[in-house]
Structure formats: structure tokens, C-alpha cells
Structure 1
């Protein structure tokens, strides 16, 4: 039996494993190899690694874990998890089963870009989800925000305030901004395009948004905050509380509502936080936090059982 099984080998999962490895805990990391930021060419706002390719960052993390013999990395997918604290069992897609005293879920979320032809193929390359992650590279370019919800008017206003004097909000039908936002958009010099986007073409610095009325809107970059879903249903299967936005509820120690199960990264958040953050550095911090408190919990449990 492992001390801990970590499901997910992204920044959160690998960071948790690093803490456990340095504390000589036996830990198994299971990763399906489908990181959320795979389409992006660079990641940002991680000090000393700003601009690093996501795949390069993960490869470096796996390499560092090789120094700790109690850490095992395994490629695969966990298809189910059962049990209770001190005796969890996970089943992998290859038919194997493993047991652990504790679980860390770092399975992440999946972006679901709007069902517009050509959009998903450009997500992370010329269509971006986050001004914090990609605003700097889009500075002084012609930009569009492809709305998926009325609140995306705020993203358009932010981009106009911070990065560009030429921002168009593609309201896209049902995502049309509320009436009270109209004055702010006009004051921020953000033009609202009501004709729905029916197709996306072009490439980096030359994106073509095909509108329903036949016009083509040419932009150098597009921002689109896509809806998300959980990458895995393990938390739900284990009985963890799921918040209304679909994320796993955790406390300040990254503990879920199920004893012995922690969750880290953008799969989880505190109830008071408006939405799960997508920054690599925060995911890594969640993983470290989860592992520190879980290691202490294991230590205290062992003391009581001596």
C-alpha cells in the first residue's frame, strides 16, 4: 500500500509528489498525459520559468522527481476510486489496481470552446483564454473577445484598459452584455459586434472571424473564456462535495469533504473564491499545500497507532 496516490501529473500533482518524496513517503503519481495548457506554446508568471514551454516544464518536474526513490510515476488513467481513509483503492485503465492511505486529486479541468468551426483548433495559439496569461503578447494588437457569457464584457474592458486601443466585443447572441455595461463599453472605446460568429479562420496575428451576416472581422488575436468541465469524475464518485460551478470544494488545507482526500490545482477551490484559477504557479502552490498538510496528518495518525 502506498502512503499516497496522486491522480494527475500537472503542476499541482508533481509539486505534491515532490513534497512527499522529500519526506520519504511512498507515492504513486498516475498521469494520462493530457495537460490543460498543452495547446499553449509558453506559460507565464512562474518566476525563473516565465516563457517556458509547458511540456518542457513538466519534463523538468518529472526529472527532478527521479531523485526520490519513494516516488513512482506511471502513465495511465485512473478510471475509478473507492474506499475510505487509510484504505483507498484506485483502478487504472490497464486493469491494474493500487491501494493507498490517502489520495490527492490533481486531475484539472477541460476547456470546452464554443462550437464554432475553426475555434477549437486555434485555442491556445491565436485564441486565448486569459489576459493574465497572454495579454502581454497581445499588447497593442487588434483584439476581439468572443463572449460565451454576459460577464465577458469585463474582459473586453480589461483588455482595452490594459493592452489595446482596438478591442471588439463579439456579443454572440445570448452572451450580449447587460444594459448597464453598455455605457462602460462605450467609454472604454470597446465596439460591440452583435452579429454572431459562425466561423474562425487564419492564424497567429491574422485571425478571421466570419460573421453570420457575411462580413469578416480581421483581428490579430482573440480572447475567449471557454466553459469548463472536470477532467475526471473521481471526486464525485468518492462523494466529495461539488460546488455549483463544478469545482471540488476544499478548505484552506486543500482537504475535500471526504476524509483522506485532498484536491489541488484548478480542479478545486475554496467556496469564497469566485472561480478556479488557471495559473501554473497557483496550481503548484496548491499541490505543495495539500502535501504538507497531508504529510502531517499521516505523521499524527502513525503516532497515535504506535
Structure 2
């Protein structure tokens, strides 16, 4: 039996495994090899690694884990989970089952761009979800914000305020924008196009949105906050509380509502936090935080002592 099974080999999972390895814990890290930011060529706002390729970061993380013999990294997909504190079972797609005293879920979320021809294949390359991650690189460019959600129109106001004087909001069909928000869009001279988007074509820096009414719009970049879902159903299988937005509920120690199970990265968030942040740096920090406090729990369990 492993001390900890970490599911997910992104920044959160690798960071958790590193902490446990340095504390001489027997750890299994299971990684399906499908990181959420795989399409992105660069990551940002990670001190000393701004503009660094995210795939390279993961490779370096794996290399660092190799220095700790108690950490096993296995390529594979976890398909089922069950059990209780001190005796969890994780089933892998290859038919094996592994047991662990504790579990850290760092499985992340999956983006599901709208079903518009040409959108998904450009997502993360010339269609961006986050102005914190990509705003600097789109400074001064012609931008479109594509969303069905009225309140997501705030994103158009934000990028217009920070990065560009040429922003168009595309709602992909008629939407009821709150009057105050519509007024703010008008004040910033942000054009609103309600015609459904039928197709997106072009290369980075030279995109074209084509609409069902036959019109088109040339843009250098597009922002689109795609709907998301959990990458796996493991948290629900273990009985963890899933919040209305689909994230796993955790407390300040990254603990889920199930004893012995922690969750880290954008798969989880505190109830008071409005959105699951997608920054690599925050994912890594969550992994460290989860492992730090779980290590203390394991130590107290080993000692047979629970302070009042």
C-alpha cells in the first residue's frame, strides 16, 4: 500500500508528489498525459519561468521526482476510485488496482469550446480563455470576445480597458444583456454582434469570424471562456462534494469533504472563491499546500496521536 496516490501529473500533482518524496513517503503518481494547457506554447506569471513552454515544465518536474526513490511515476489513466481513509483503491485503465492510505486529486478540468467550426482547433493558440495569461501578448491588437453568457460580456470590457481599443463582443445569437452592462459597452464603443457564428478561419494574427447572415469580421485574436467539466469522475465516486460550478469543494488545507482525500489545482476551489483559477503557479501552490497538510495528518496517524 502506498502512503499517497496522486492522480494527475500537472503542476499541482507533480508539486504534491515532490513534497511527499522529500518526506520519504511512498507515493504513486498516475498521469494520463493530457494536460489542460497542452495547446499553449507558453505559460505566464510563474516567477523565473514567464514565457516558458508548459510541456517543458512538466518534463523538468518529472526529472526532479526521479531523485526521490520512494516516488513512482506511472503513465496511465485512473478510471475508478473507492474506499475510506487509510484504505483507498484506485483502478487503472490497464486493469490494475492500487491501494493508498491517502489520495490527492489533481485531475484538472477540460475545456469544451462552443461547437463552432474552427473554434476548438484554435483554442489555446489564437483563441484564448484568460486575459491574465494572454493579455500582454494581445496588447494593441484587434480582438473579439465570444460568449453566450451575458455577464461574460464583462470580459470584453476588461480587455478593452487593459489591452486594446478595438474590441468586438460576439454573442453568437441574441442575448439579453443587463441594461447597465449594455450601457457600459456603449460607453467604451464596444460593438456587439448578435448574429450566430458559423465558422472561424485563419491563422494566428489573421483570424476571420464568419456569421450566419453572411457577414464576417477580421480579428487578430479571440477571447473565449469555454465551459468546463471535471476531467474525471473520481471525486464524485469517492463521495466528495461537487459545487454548483462543477468544481470539488475544498477547505483552506485543500481537504475535500471526504476524510483522507485532498484536491489541488483547477479541479477544486474554496466555496468563497468565484472561479477556479487556471494559473500554473496557483496549481503548483495548491499541490504543495495539499501535500504539506496531508503529511502532517499521516504523521499523526503513524504516531497514533491526535492532539486535542
- Scaled to the shorter chain, the TM-score interval is over 0.9
Structure 1 residues 196-215: aligned runs within 5 Å: 196-215=196-215
CA contact (8 A) 2:7 2:104 kept: yes
Match of 1:130 in 2: 130
Match of 1:216 in 2: 216
Deviation at 1:183, TM superposition (A): 1.0
CA contact (8 A) 1:126 1:222 kept: yes
TM-score (norm. length: structure 2): 0.98
CA contact (8 A) 2:265 2:286 kept: yes
Map Cα deviations across residues 80-106 of structure 1 (whole Å, 9 max, x no partner). 111100000111000111110000000
Structure 1 residues 75-224: aligned runs within 5 Å: 75-173=75-173, 175-224=175-224
CA contact (8 A) 1:36 1:110 kept: yes
For residues 250 and 162 of structure 1, the distance between their equivalents in structure 2, rounded to whole angstroms, comes to 32
For residues 285 and 303 of structure 2, the distance between their equivalents in structure 1, rounded to whole angstroms, comes to 27
TM-score (norm. length: structure 1): 0.98
For residues 68 and 74 of structure 2, the distance between their equivalents in structure 1, rounded to whole angstroms, comes to 15
SS at match of 1:240: coil
Match of 2:44 in 1: 44
Deviation at 1:150, TM superposition (A): 1.0
For residues 287 and 178 of structure 2, the distance between their equivalents in structure 1, rounded to whole angstroms, comes to 38
For residues 268 and 99 of structure 1, the distance between their equivalents in structure 2, rounded to whole angstroms, comes to 23
Match of 1:65 in 2: 65
1:26 correspondence with 2:18: no
Q: Which runs of 5+ in 2 are unaligned?
A: none
Deviation at 1:175, TM superposition (A): 4.5
For residues 111 and 238 of structure 2, the distance between their equivalents in structure 1, rounded to whole angstroms, comes to 23
CA contact (8 A) 1:106 1:265 kept: yes
CA contact (8 A) 1:176 1:194 kept: no
Map Cα deviations across residues 21-47 of structure 1 (whole Å, 9 max, x no partner). 010101000000000000011010000
Map Cα deviations across residues 112-154 of structure 1 (whole Å, 9 max, x no partner). 0000000000001110000000000000000000013111211
For residues 260 and 173 of structure 1, the distance between their equivalents in structure 2, rounded to whole angstroms, comes to 46
1:268 correspondence with 2:283: no
Two-structure CA RMSD over aligned residues (Å): 1.1
Match of 1:15 in 2: 15
CA contact (8 A) 1:147 1:175 kept: no
Deviation at 1:283, TM superposition (A): 0.5
Deviation at 1:189, TM superposition (A): 2.0
Q: Which runs of 4+ in 1 moved over 6 A?
A: none
For residues 102 and 95 of structure 2, the distance between their equivalents in structure 1, rounded to whole angstroms, comes to 21
SS at match of 2:137: coil
Match of 1:299 in 2: 299
SS at match of 1:180: helix
Deviation at 1:176, TM superposition (A): 4.9
Report the count of equivalent residues: 306
For residues 16 and 71 of structure 2, the distance between their equivalents in structure 1, rounded to whole angstroms, comes to 11
CA contact (8 A) 2:81 2:238 kept: yes
